[in-house]
Amino acid sequence: MLTLLGPEIFHDQLPLGLPWMHWQVRMDALSGFFLATIGIGVIAVSFYGPGYVLEYRSNQHPMWLLGLCTGLFIAGMELVLLADDAFFFVMAWELMSVSSYFLVAFQHEHADNRRAAFLYLLMAVIGAIAIILAFGVLASFSHGFGFDGFRNTPLSHFWGTTAFLLALLGFGMKAGLVPGHAWLPEAHPVAPSHISALMSGVMLKVAIYGLLRFAFDLLGDVHWQWGMMVLVSGTASAVLGVLYAFQQHEIKRLLAYSSIENMGIIAMGIGLSMIFMGTGHGELASLGLLAALYHVLNHSVFKNLLFLTAGSVLHQTHETSLDHLGGLIRRMPKTAALTLLGCVAISALPPLNGFVSEWLTFQAALHASSLESGVLRSMIPVAAAALAFTGAIAAATFIKYFGIGFLGLPRRHHAAHAREVTHFGMLAGPALLAVLCVALGVIPTLIIRALAPITLMLLGTTLPGSAADGWLWLSPGTVREASFSAPFLLLGLSLAWLTVRGFTFGMNHQPPRRGPAWDCGFGGLNARMQYTSAAFSQPIRRIFAPVWELREKLKGRETGTFKDIPIVYHLEVADRSWHFLYAPLGHLVEQTARRVTRIQTGSIRTYLTYSFLTLLLLLGIISG
């Protein structure tokens, strides 16, 4: 907290690592903020987890392994934030990745879980290689692995861009940015729900930390061209992520694609900050960076909330598909209320926290007129329009999520007999996050002030004084241009609700008459008359059909009459990136593995020859 609210920077050295190079640790405003973000998610999960994992005790899954890997996972994330040299950073990064691999593969008896875990580990290895190469570029010029040496080493534009592209590939892949995103909707849904919350709500932010640390702190000389790359990647991630999320019917898969969207929004703020910084607009750069950091915190809060409440639904119903749920608002009212608040927050509706950070991102984009380049002045508004489109589809996505899953009639036996969770922690953890969703939306000016030391450290500037015009108004520029008062908005909404309630009560003191819903004369409503997930998203699916790889099947029409045999409609929405990126990569790995196996002759003499030739090669390199 001291490092976040003040200019203090703490250095230390751990007696670990290589004999000639101990691990260096550092805590400053940036690492302090991300440590606080991780802490919020871990506290909520620590309340929730003990009640959720009770069902695993009756299975063959070792609980000690789940606890050990969870602890190592959290420790790895925190050590990444404290690392001040490349060697320690990579070690902590790999600890985070490998421990989370075992968490994804925890229920390894399912083939889909093993496949998702392998894909996650493969992409983690590729991303780690890119990060190591990025650090290698800096180390080759600084002649050391310490971050202090990296900061004081000037790079040419070519080598700086090379290092940045490698870092963007490595950290962007872990963050789920397009096109390195396909592992995320595979891995996050199969992990235990409280682990999914940590991975989506917390681990992805560690990747954002790595990108910020590398670009703004270690490289330092930020170029606007880098910002355009990040902005384009973020815009594509936001649009494609929300479009894919809208088409999902599996709850956790929907939330995972939504995380890709929100990582894209964060990347858009970072890209705008880099563009403004590279063109000499320091105050606007701080606005873009503050928008990104605020959305980091907001997404961590409401995505943890939604994954935990989704875990409660899964725990009580053992159903993962929206089309198998319905009517849960009556059977799980507390979980439904918490889910509704999370849906409002992630849809960026005021006065909750998601609105504030997206509004700040819009404000940064609307200052594109300050740039001299006509190309930038035309491209940034396009990105802003894409962000507006993203917000509209996100709202529709979570209307579908809550409406189909919690409203209407139950569609399956498990949903009809569901009960509210009874473990205190499974309600206390989400309730804590729900309170934070409201608090971060109502008092954003206090959070903006707390984040000011980060922009001052990374950019050398912060928002002008009008950005903190009292705690009631948030004005990222001048009051004449744009301002927002969340407390007044909350007060207005409360007064409007009380007025409507009072007017309704004054008109009729009698309680409203309740009766069966009108069924158009069909003889009684039933669950089959309700909208399904595929039906709800059908109009958008028809408009943007080229975005997805759609596989639709209709069974029953050819085999009998409508009266005798029911018609079953099956929809599968596949990610096109599999065909132009992941499938060729997998084919290349398989072909390489087949060729490598040719050296495995099974003869001990051949292996001794390999060892002898390797020894001669190493001796030649050392002596040379």
Which band of pLDDT confidence, cut at 50, 70 and 90, is reported for residue 236?
A: very high
Residue range 571-592: mean pLDDT, rounded: 77
Dihedral Cα 352, 355, 360, 364, nearest 10 deg: 180
Residue that wins the pLDDT comparison between 309 and 576: 309
Would you say residue 582 has pLDDT above 90?
no
pLDDT tier at 564, thresholds 50, 70, 90: low
Judged on CB neighbours under 10 Å (0-12, 13-18, 19+), 189 is: buried
Length of the chain: 624
At 551 the pLDDT is 77
Whether the per-residue pLDDT at 466 is higher than 50: the answer is no
Mean pLDDT across 71-76: 93
**pLDDT tens, position by position, 90-125:** 999 999 999 999 999 888 777 878 888 888 888 888
- What's the pTM value of the predicted model, to 2 decimals? 0.89
CA neighbor of 418 nearest in space, from 332, 308, 312, 306: 332
Q: Which residues pair with 24 in a beta bridge?
A: 13
Query: Per the structure block, which two tokens stand in for 358?
Result: 């997206």
Residues 6+ apart with CB under 8 A from 541: 247, 534, 548, 550, 573
Mean pLDDT of 221-250: 92
| d(C-alpha 437, C-alpha 297), whole Å | 10
Q: Give the pLDDT band (50/70/90) at residue 479.
A: very low
Give 596-613 pLDDT, tens digit per residue.
777 777 778 788 888 888
- pLDDT 10s digits, 488-524: 777 877 788 788 777 766 665 666 677 777 767 666 6
Q: How far is CA 600 from CA 589, 593, 605, 610, 617, in A?
A: 17, 11, 11, 11, 20
Using CA atoms, how far apart are residues 458 and 31, in angstroms rounded to an integer?
12
Identify the weakest region by mean pLDDT among 211-225, 305-319, 437-451, 545-559.
545-559
pLDDT digits (tens, 9 = 90+) for 356-367: 999 999 988 988
What's the alpha-carbon Rg for the chain, to the nearest Å?
26
pLDDT reported for residue 313: 93
The confidence score (pLDDT) of residue 468 equals 47
Q: Mean pLDDT over residues 581-590, rounded?
A: 76
Neighbours of 249 (CB within 10 A): 22
How far apart are the C-alpha atoms of 567 and 478, rounded to whole Å?
Answer: 60
- State residue 62's pLDDT score: 78
Tens digits of residue pLDDT in 282-299 = 888 999 999 999 999 999
Compute the C-alpha angle 483/487/490, nearest 5°: 110
**What is the average pLDDT score of the chain?**
85
For residue 9, name the pLDDT band (cuts at 50, 70, 90): confident
Domain boundaries, the chain: 2-490, 543-624
Is the pLDDT at 150 greater than 70? The verdict is yes
What integer is the mean pLDDT of 52-81?
85
Residue 480 pLDDT > 60: no
